[in-house]
Amino acid sequence: MAGKTLYDKLWDDHLVRVNEDGSALLYIDRHLLHEVTSPQAFEGLRIAGRKPWRIDANLATPDHNVPTTERSGGVERIVDPVSRIQVKTLDDNCDTFGITEFKMNDIRQGIVHVVGPEQGATLPGMTVVCGDSHTATHGAFAALAHGIGTSEVEHVLATQCLITKKMKNMLVRVDGQLGLGVTAKDVILHIIGVIGTAGGTGYAIEFGGEAIRSISVEGRMTICNMAIEAGARVGLVAVDEKTIEYVKGRPFSPKEQDWEKAVNAWQTLVSDADAVFDEVVVIRAEDIQPQVTWGTSPEMVTSVVDSVPDPAEMEDPVKREGAERALHYMGLKPKQKITDIQLDRVFIGSCTNSRIEDLREAAAIVKGKKVATTIKQALVVPGSGLVKAQAELEGLDKIFLEAGMEWREPGCSMCLAMNPDKLGVGEHCASTSNRNFEGRQGFGGRTHLVSPAMAAAAAIAGHFVDVRQVNNA
């Protein structure tokens, strides 16, 4: 019999029962909650007179709606009344049901996908779900993690299980070594460009190969985070020494005898050598250059040294129309050089790129320089209060502020513009977030997805530049 993939192992470890039709009841170890997708779930529990199955498996924090400007006035001072109600509703629900919540002004508050790993609330071998598609992030720890809808949030609260079907296995292997100035973000954008935005639909993608092994745990989180942008609900990276080192000593991590026992169990969380994948995609690391998206889907991506494609050269009519529509929306011309795209705003943040290593990467580029005068705003939004504190300890905040950037409080911010941070109509933004959909960062806004280093370099130049040509890089 063939060996098991990492996904097979995680699946088998959490199987409560299999129904006659092949659907399964899967046990959930960690349930993360935020204010946007949970209120209707709590309401559902209340109406049905149900209680959460296992309180201690849940961890909540508000992130999507919270303002990132000064907020010592607390929730009552959130200007937008609907945002305020949503944040308050999360606080009330967590208080009522006894769920641990890092409230808005707790230093541990932040983007839910930054907070989970930072606290050790995400551990190898766990199943982790959250009403947010970027839950795939936690797969960087060899945890089976994916986004769920609000009905499923209610289902997990009530039963600690999910009704689900097994996905297929895909291995994306990145062979060789990444070039200088090429980051985890470039790797995942390149992969999405190769397999397409629906390429991973129905699969759990394991990212492997020499290049993935050489990337830090935080970089792996960036990669798994965007698995969903390739259509895959689940992204995974096998456990290695880096994973175990990262998890060690965090508040929710196992202690003493449990630690030894856990580490032994975690070391098995790799795909067996003879495991069979339904699909294998091989990428050569040397082919990956710094990436920039030019369109309104993450698969509309190219390298910074290239140009915007010409839809007229596309054979598939649906693809051609999509590209034409995207260029119209983006205000770009076919064959325009990527480095000629002028920018209005820069956003460094989001669950994709707001951890300490991302901020270090950006700060290294801007150190001693000034943001171009044509840039209206360059926002730096740390992923959590603890990331913010660490960055300030290292003096990164000063580097950003001296360059003319804004240093904000943690939250999702301009990634999806549910709070006041948003783009104006027609504005181009170099963004370290994950989606360049129409209107995502604000009505009529034009998003270009890039790495933190590329965003920082673009802020200084006022347009895209190849970060490998920048002095500090």
Partner 1 sequence: MKQFTTHQGIVAPLDRANVDTDMIIPKQFLKSIKRSGFGPNLFDELRYLDEGQPDQDCSQRPLNPDFVLNKSRYQGCSILLARKNFGCGSSREHAPWALEDFGIRAIIAPSYADIFFNNSFKNGLLPIILDEKDVDQLFVEVEANEGYQLTIDLENQQVIKQDGTALAFEIDGFRKHCLLKGLDDIGLTLEHANAIREYESKRKETAPWLFS
Site for partner 1 in 144-163 (CB under 8 A): 146-152, 154-155, 158-161, 163
Can you tell me the distance from the alpha carbon of 164 to that of 161, in angstroms, rounded to the nearest whole number?
9
Q: Are 458 and 346 in contact (CB under 8 A)?
A: yes
Q: Are 142 and 94 in contact (CB under 8 A)?
A: no
φ, ψ for residue 205 (rounded to 5)?
Answer: -95, 125
Stretch that binds partner 1, among 50-58, 350-358, 366-374, 401-409 (CB under 8 A): 50-58
Strands 446-449 vs 279-284: parallel, antiparallel or unpaired: unpaired
Determine if residue 130 is labeled as part of a ligand binding site.
Answer: no
Could you tell me the smallest distance in angstroms from the CB atom of residue 436 to partner 1? Answer: 10
Stretch that binds partner 1, among 16-24, 69-77, 332-340, 462-470 (CB under 8 A): 16-24
Q: Is 293 among the residues that bind partner 1 (CB under 8 A)? A: no
Stretch that binds partner 1, among 22-30, 215-223, 274-282, 336-344 (CB under 8 A): 22-30
Among 131, 382, 383, 452, binds partner 1 (CB under 8 A): 131
Q: Which residue has the tokens 């030894």?
A: 260
Q: For partner 1, which is the closer residue by CB, 92 or 210? A: 92
Q: Is 34 among the residues that bind partner 1 (CB under 8 A)? A: no
> Which two tokens mark 342?
């002028």
Q: Is 25 among the residues that bind partner 1 (CB under 8 A)? A: yes
> Which positions from 268 to 287 touch partner 1 by CB under 8 A, shown as an x/- string?
--------------------
> Which two tokens mark 1?
């019999």
> Which two tokens mark 24?
């399964």
Q: Are 411 and 67 in contact (CB under 8 A)?
A: yes
Could you tell me the smallest distance in angstroms from the CB atom of residue 213 to partner 1? Answer: 26
Could you tell me the smallest distance in angstroms from the CB atom of residue 198 to partner 1? Answer: 4
For residue 278, count other CB atoms closer than 10 A to its CB.
13
Q: Is 68 among the residues that bind partner 1 (CB under 8 A)? A: no
Interacting residues of 353 by C-beta distance below 8 A, sequence separation 6+: 185, 222, 432, 433, 451, 452
Q: Which residue has the tokens 């250059």?
A: 289
> Which two tokens mark 294?
């030019």
Can you tell me the distance from the alpha carbon of 350 to that of 353, in angstroms, rounded to the nearest whole number?
6
Q: Are 177 and 207 in contact (CB under 8 A)?
A: no
End-to-end CA distance of the chain: 49
Could you tell me the smallest distance in angstroms from the CB atom of residue 115 to partner 1? Answer: 18
Q: For partner 1, which is the closer residue by CB, 319 or 367? A: 319
Q: Which residue has the tokens 């641990």?
A: 100
Q: How far is CA 418 from the centre of its chain?
A: 17
Strands 234-236 vs 301-303: parallel, antiparallel or unpaired: unpaired
Residues 305-324 that bind partner 1 (CB under 8 A): 318-319, 321-322
Q: Are 325 and 466 in contact (CB under 8 A)?
A: no
Could you tell me the smallest distance in angstroms from the CB atom of residue 193 to partner 1? Answer: 14
Residues 336-375 that bind partner 1 (CB under 8 A): none
> Which positions from 160 to 199 touch partner 1 by CB under 8 A, shown as an x/- string?
xx-x-x-------------------------------xx-
Tell me the one-letter amino acid at 331: G
Residues 443-462 that bind partner 1 (CB under 8 A): 443-444
Stretch that binds partner 1, among 123-131, 168-176, 187-195, 465-473 (CB under 8 A): 123-131
How many residues lie near partner 1 (CB under 8 A)?
78
Can you tell me the distance from the alpha carbon of 77 to that of 117, in angstroms, rounded to the nearest whole number?
29
Q: Is 402 among the residues that bind partner 1 (CB under 8 A)? A: no
Q: For partner 1, which is the closer residue by CB, 213 or 320? A: 320
Among 175, 240, 438, 462, binds partner 1 (CB under 8 A): 438
Stretch that binds partner 1, among 143-151, 187-195, 281-289, 457-465 (CB under 8 A): 143-151
Q: Is 125 among the residues that bind partner 1 (CB under 8 A)? A: yes
What's the CA dihedral at 37, 119, 111, 32 to 10 degrees?
A: -10
Residues 219-238 that bind partner 1 (CB under 8 A): 228, 231, 233
Q: Is 46 among the residues that bind partner 1 (CB under 8 A)? A: no
Q: Is 85 among the residues that bind partner 1 (CB under 8 A)? A: yes
Residues 404-423 that bind partner 1 (CB under 8 A): 416-418
Stretch that binds partner 1, among 38-46, 174-182, 283-291, 371-379 (CB under 8 A): 38-46
Strands 279-284 vs 168-175: parallel, antiparallel or unpaired: parallel
What's the CA dihedral at 113, 166, 199, 289 to 10 degrees?
A: 40
Q: For partner 1, which is the closer residue by CB, 54 or 213? A: 54
Q: Are 64 and 51 in contact (CB under 8 A)?
A: no
Q: Which residues make up each annotated binding site for [4Fe-4S] cluster?
A: 351, 412, 415
Q: Which residues make up each annotated binding site?
A: 351, 412, 415
